[in-house]
Chain A
Amino acid sequence: QVQLVQSGAEVKKPGASVKVSCKASGNTFTSDYMHWVRQAPGQGLEWMGIINPSTGSTNYAQKLQGRVTMTREKSTSTVYMELSSLRSEDTAVYFCARAPFKARLDCWGQGTLVTVSS
């Protein structure tokens, strides 16, 4: 059974960068897509982007283009999401979610709270 374990909460100052990790257990790391989704306090879900862990290819939400980078490390079955030039509006819980088929997010990480505050 696949499990996704994310890194711990972060507090960052405006303008800084944050890198969140998501480690997958199970043997399907390179056969599943991985999405990143965030949720600002009291708000809905916002899709951030997707990475194919097998090839490393990515596709990002237009709104975040230029600020977000998703990478993977096959040896540790870990994907990373780095967001730069942080502003207060980036304060949110960030989730990774695996998708054995691109549109089917069937297993989610526990979420990582990122707080951006001066």
Chain B
Amino acid sequence: QSALTQPASVSGSPGQSITISCTGTSNDVGGYDYVSWYHQHPGKAPKLLIYDVSSRPSGVSNRFSGSKSGNTASLTISGLQAEDEADYHCSSYTSSSTFVFGTGTKVTVL
């Protein structure tokens, strides 16, 4: 199972919106509405931001939103803040009843 494809880095200024893509295949992202997004600050464990493509756990800011079109899922961060600088990872359920993560994206707040 190959990792899902994410851009290596995305940057934006405070207050701007950015979007991170996560591209897979019809056997994972395109086939199931089980895409999740996590962010991870250096030296810390990942934290769930979005599950089931577009649902937010309680306590997660509504500045984070998720969507999917075909084999590509996307995470949008609106009103970018300094604390959003972190690594972002997508994940999907697969046709093999396993899971796969993306290659990871480093978000930089300029």
Question: In chain B between 91 and 108, which residues have their CB closer than 8 angstroms to a CB of chain A?
Answer: 91, 93, 96-104
* A109 within 8 A of partner (CB): yes
Q: Once the chains bind, are A108 and B46 in contact (CB under 8 Å)?
A: yes
Interface residues of B in 20-35 (CB under 8 A from A): 34
**Contact A104:B93 (CB < 8 A) given known A35-B99, A44-B101, A61-B98:** no
- Please tell me the number of chain A residues within 8 Å of chain B, measured between CB atoms: 26
Total interface residues on B, CB under 8 Å, equals: 26
Partner of B45, one of A50, A63, A104, A111: A111
Q: Please give me the residue from chain B that is nearest to A46 by CB atom.
A: B101
A44, A49, A95, A103: which contacts B93 (Cβ < 8 A)? A103
CA distance A9 to B48 in the complex (A): 24
Residue numbers of B with Cβ under 8 A of A are: 1, 3, 34, 36, 38, 40, 45-48, 51-52, 57, 87, 89, 91, 93, 96-104
Q: Which A residues are closer than 8 A to B by beta carbons?
A: 35, 37, 43-47, 49-50, 59-63, 95, 97, 101-106, 108-111
